Chains A and B, each alone.
Chain A
């Protein structure tokens, strides 16, 4: 990698950290919001091969929406590979799942299994 490209990448890295900071701040303000239908919704962003927020705690009945912001497709699949199973989410695609039962749901990206996340439903 030449010096110029490296500097560019470092620059992008800083931008990513900044974006992550803003995301974290917005999550802290409460990522849950009322959707148009009145149901309570929460969003998980898929960015840089991570689920953010990585762990969520939500009440029963909450619909969680995952949005892929990466340039590469990801999936949202529960560890048992049956409870939650999205199709491949290409860039900006989203997937929603409504959690109707209390419990802990661990999930991962079946294409990049190092990517894991968790939803605790109370």
Chain B
């Protein structure tokens, strides 16, 4: 494997025949430099950063998009006193990609305290992106005090319910889900009956060979329920996705990169553009992780996703801000 491809996480959904149990689990930790490689063509997961060194020919595909997450505009604590600067750096990083993404996905926690000026600032910064096409789903920080009313007014045009929707791009079906509303005491993320019914109906018309990308703020897999890193009723949603040959689930919320492959489903969480959070259970609480200033930007970043038609494979590349 050449060095220049080491940032790539590629799962070939067409390949089969390997004992998946206990084997197709992979966690790629942002910034630690550790990575996991499973040979045999099934999953290649590499480390982070140095996206600029990659040969665009290796990344060429039918469709590419970039994911940003957890910009937490308004956060100003020691873990990062310049979330404006780091979000701008993320946009610069995206603009510098040799192959420009067709659109951006923001997987929530746009703001820190749901203040209008926080949303305004993010909107302003994202206007600096070469692509003007941004798709959002809300994080719990975007719905503080108003059950997501302001979020819907700003970003919910054409969406259903609390802001869920789907769209198609070059043969790939995208589903944006909302799992941060109506949270119950002691519970995890929640999709709710109405949204699940909509999702089942939305997917019905698709053939099983359609690549599906599902994105939501809180992970749709059980990352660490003790810290609320999971979604109570995600099993039902994942059940609707079982018949598809290629499913990619993109989440934010946990401010670190993590990847897992289960059957035909690749789960992936993105880093934050604002501040890192500790690895599951590695601290007293999931609060912002303070790291030496020179390490911060190595723990923040963006995710670039590239779809190659015919291979049913999505190459997911995480890139830090340095």
Chain A residues engaging chain B, CB cutoff 8 angstroms = 1-2, 5, 9, 13, 16, 48-50, 70-73, 75, 79, 87-88, 90-91, 106-108, 110-114, 116
- Given A72-B77, A73-B144, A90-B113, 12 more A-B residue pairs with CB atoms under 8 Å apart are A1-B279, A9-B283, A13-B283, A16-B284, A48-B284, A49-B227, A49-B286, A73-B113, A73-B141, A110-B140, A111-B144, A112-B228
Q: What's the Cα separation between A70 and B290 when bound, in Å?
A: 13
In the assembled complex, B206 has its CB within 8 A of some CB on chain A: no
Contact between chains at B79 and A71 (CB < 8 Å): yes
Q: What's the Cα separation between A90 and B145 when bound, in Å?
A: 13
Given A1-B282, A48-B285, A75-B144: A116 and B291 interface contact (C-beta under 8 Å): no
Q: What's the Cα separation between A106 and B187 when bound, in Å?
A: 14
Contact between chains at A113 and B186 (CB < 8 Å): yes
**Minimum C-beta distance from B31 to chain A (A):** 9
> Which chain A residues lie closer than 8 Å to B278 at the CB level?
9
- Determine chain A's interface SS by DSSP, over half rule: loop
5 closest A-B pairs by beta carbon, nearest first, are A108-B185, A49-B285, A48-B285, A71-B77, A114-B228
Q: What's the Cα separation between A108 and B186 when bound, in Å?
A: 7
**Minimum C-beta distance from A111 to chain B (A):** 5
Q: Across the interface, name the chain A residue whose C-beta is closest to B289.
A: A9
Contact between chains at A72 and B288 (CB < 8 Å): yes
Q: What's the Cα separation between A107 and B185 when bound, in Å?
A: 7
Contact between chains at B145 and A88 (CB < 8 Å): yes
Q: Can you spell out 19 A-B residue pairs with CB atoms less than 8 angstroms apart? A: A1-B32, A9-B282, A13-B283, A13-B284, A16-B284, A48-B284, A50-B285, A75-B145, A88-B113, A90-B113, A111-B144, A112-B228, A113-B184, A113-B185, A113-B186, A114-B186, A114-B226, A114-B228, A116-B186
> Which chain A residues lie closer than 8 Å to B295 at the CB level?
5
In the assembled complex, B59 has its CB within 8 A of some CB on chain A: no
In the assembled complex, B104 has its CB within 8 A of some CB on chain A: no
> Which chain B residues lie closer than 8 Å to A79 at the CB level?
184-185
> Which chain B residues lie closer than 8 Å to A70 at the CB level?
285, 287
Q: What's the Cα separation between A110 and B190 when bound, in Å?
A: 12
> Which chain A residues lie closer than 8 Å to B78 at the CB level?
71
In the assembled complex, B175 has its CB within 8 A of some CB on chain A: no
Contact between chains at B77 and A91 (CB < 8 Å): yes
Q: What's the Cα separation between A75 and B291 when bound, in Å?
A: 26
A88 contact from B77, B114, B283, Cβ within 8 A: B114
Q: What's the Cα separation between A79 and B185 when bound, in Å?
A: 6
In the assembled complex, B268 has its CB within 8 A of some CB on chain A: no
> Which chain A residues lie closer than 8 Å to B292 at the CB level?
5
Contacts of B107-165 to chain A: CB distance below 8 A: 112-114, 140-141, 144-145
Contact between chains at B285 and A111 (CB < 8 Å): no
**Minimum C-beta distance from A76 to chain B (A):** 11
Q: Across the interface, name the chain A residue whose C-beta is closest to B279.
A: A1
Contact between chains at B114 and A110 (CB < 8 Å): no
Contacts of B260-290 to chain A: CB distance below 8 A: 278-279, 282-288
